Amino acid sequence: DAGVIQSPRHEVTEMGQEVTLRCKPISGHDYLFWYRQTMMRGLELLIYFNNNVPIDDSGMPEDRFSAKMPNASFSTLKIQPSEPRDSAVYFCASRYTGTGHMNTEAFFGQGTRLTVV
């Protein structure tokens, strides 16, 4: 498996524009996570899905942020409209937690570096 794949790797956009970040988790993984990392706030959990269903979106900063997982192999994180304070590295991660599987290992993508000007 190629691991968790995120696209684009870098995104520069103007304030007010819509931004869509994409993630392909590792096949067979049942959990998918979206994180945001900045120098000031560190690595923050935004939202996570279990079997394509959103479980906890309490980390989503505001209504401008939305995430979907239409199927087991694809997820998006959308920001509309984008603002300069959204500039950060956004990571997607996936994890397998099958029955009786005591495994805390999550696999992270390379991240998308978003710059909003």
Interface residues with another protein (CB under 8 A) are 4, 31, 33, 35, 42-43, 45, 48, 50, 55-56, 91, 93, 95, 97, 102-111
CB of 64 to another protein, least distance (A): 22
Distances (CA, A) of 10 to 54, 64, 72, 77, 114: 26, 20, 24, 14, 6
CB of 54 to another protein, least distance (A): 12
- DSSP 8-state assignment for residue 63: T
CB of 30 to another protein, least distance (A): 9
Q: Residues with Cβ < 8 Å from 21, sequence gap 6 or more?
A: 6, 7, 8, 11, 76, 77, 78, 90, 92, 112, 114
Among residues 75, 62, 88, the alpha carbon closest in space to that of 21 is found at 75
Residue closer to another protein (CB basis): 70 or 98: 98
Residue closer to another protein (CB basis): 35 or 65: 35
Residue closer to another protein (CB basis): 82 or 90: 90
CB of 22 to another protein, least distance (A): 15
